[in-house]
Amino acid sequence: MTLKIALLPGDGVGPEVLAQAVKCLEAVEETFNQRFIFKEAPVGAIAIDKKGTPLPDATLKLCKESDAVLFGAIGDPKYDNDPDAKVRPEQGLLQLRKELGLFANIRPVLSHPTLLDKSPLKKRVISGTDFVIYRELTGGIYFGEKKLNEEGTKASDLYEYSEAEISRIAHLAFKAAKGRKKKLTLVDKANVLESSRLWRKVVKRIGESYPEVALDFLFVDNAAMQIILNPRQFDVILTENMFGDIISDEGSVIGGSIGLLASASIGEENALFEPIHGSYPQAKGKDIANPIASILSAAMLLEHFGLIEEAWAIKKAVDKSLKKGIVTPDLKENSQYGTNQVGDFIAHNI
């Protein structure tokens, strides 16, 4: 199989970790006789610096022409602390999601046996956790109309959902549940929000076509508790954009390290794969960022195209690095292995 893969390293540690994912994909090319054509383009703060916009046209074009996008990270503190900034790196990612129609963000949450000790949660609480979050990614308050009055004293964001937006991701999530533990939990705030009530109505109706899947509902505040009180109760969690942003980052803590978690963002015609961690600017250039999340993003990419054996080879190599302790300092105090060495080790073991 030949796949055209757009590489968008982005900001902070993005380029460093993405380079390790590419090493692993190159190892897959050799070992499994596949062919990946990589092309790189700027996005985020670095694109603002170079081109004045966080998502240059050429970058978007490249992504549209590719089979998949492998993304690094985005964000720079110099924009975060300037509420008046007119362009922001994050706009690049949001626009890319929208333009590519990546409406479903899929984040697996697993407790890794070798990392149970790293988690702030007790072993008995997290061991055996295995759920997946389906987060709506191109709607809701992220993309609703934004307003600021002239005096700069009143601001608003519109939180909006249509039946069509809810229904397409709900079908994906039900299908996933069907192939797993057959449970779907909708996380919403239907006791307060009109849009949540629409979610509940639509998801209930769609659920009737998946009678084998048990459907339940959880208010987001309660969900924020349940995820850490008893994560094993979950199988597939379906939720809207903003709630998904919050609870999937919360859920990342279960695995013992955010440096391990990958995500897939899927649309009708395109797909993007990225670590869930941010640009981690404090670590930039220090060769200490954990490359595993980025490497596992590459594995998700392969799975997406049915290259199951290849994805498995990457995951097995990652497991080996964890078991042998060939990991970055976030996973083992005083570890002498850097981003590059961990990447090399994993690539060599594919």
Ligand X SMILES: CC(C)[C@H](C(=O)O)[C@@H](O)C(=O)O
Residue 108: contacted member of its own copies, ligand X, none (CB under 5 to 8 Å, by partner type): none
Q: Within positions 94 to 133, which residues make up the interface with ligand X, using CB under 6 A?
A: 94
344 lines the binding site for ligand X (CB under 6 A): no
188 lines the binding site for ligand X (CB under 6 A): no
Other Cβ atoms closer than 10 A to 315: 17
Residues 133 and 234: beta-carbon distance below 8 Å? no
Q: Which two tokens stand for residue 272?
A: 């993007």
Residues 23 and 347: beta-carbon distance below 8 Å? yes
Distances in whole angstroms, Cα of residue 88 to Cα of each of 141, 247, 321: 17, 24, 36
245 tagged catalytic: yes
Which stretch of DSSP H or E encloses residue 218?
strand 214-219
85 lines the binding site for ligand X (CB under 6 A): no
State phi, psi for 145 to the nearest 5 degrees.
Answer: -60, 135
Which residues, 6 or more positions from 310, have their beta carbon under 8 angstroms from its beta carbon? 28, 32, 34, 302
Q: How far is the CB of 336 from its own copies (least distance, A)?
A: 24
Q: Please compute Rg for the chain using Cα positions.
A: 20
221 lines the binding site for ligand X (CB under 6 A): yes
Other Cβ atoms closer than 10 A to 230: 12
184 lines the binding site for ligand X (CB under 6 A): no
Q: How far is the CB of 84 from its own copies (least distance, A)?
A: 8
CA–CA distance, 218 with 224 (Å, rounded to integer): 10
Residue 37: contacted member of its own copies, ligand X, none (CB under 5 to 8 Å, by partner type): none
245 lines the binding site for ligand X (CB under 6 A): yes
Residue 201: contacted member of ligand X, its own copies, none (CB under 5 to 8 Å, by partner type): its own copies
Query: 172 or 228, CB closer to its own copies?
Result: 228
Active-site residue (options: 130, 157, 183, 249): 249
Query: 65 or 163, CB closer to its own copies?
Result: 163
189 tagged catalytic: yes
324 tagged catalytic: no
Which value, to the nearest 10 degrees, does the dihedral of the CA atoms of residues 163, 164, 166, 169 take?
160
Residue 183: contacted member of ligand X, its own copies, none (CB under 5 to 8 Å, by partner type): none
Judged by the rule CB under 6 A, the positions of this chain that interact with ligand X are: 74-75, 90, 93-94, 191-192, 221, 245
Q: Looking at the annotation, which residues are catalytic?
A: 142, 189, 221, 245, 249
Q: Residues annotated as binding site for substrate?
A: 97, 107, 135, 221
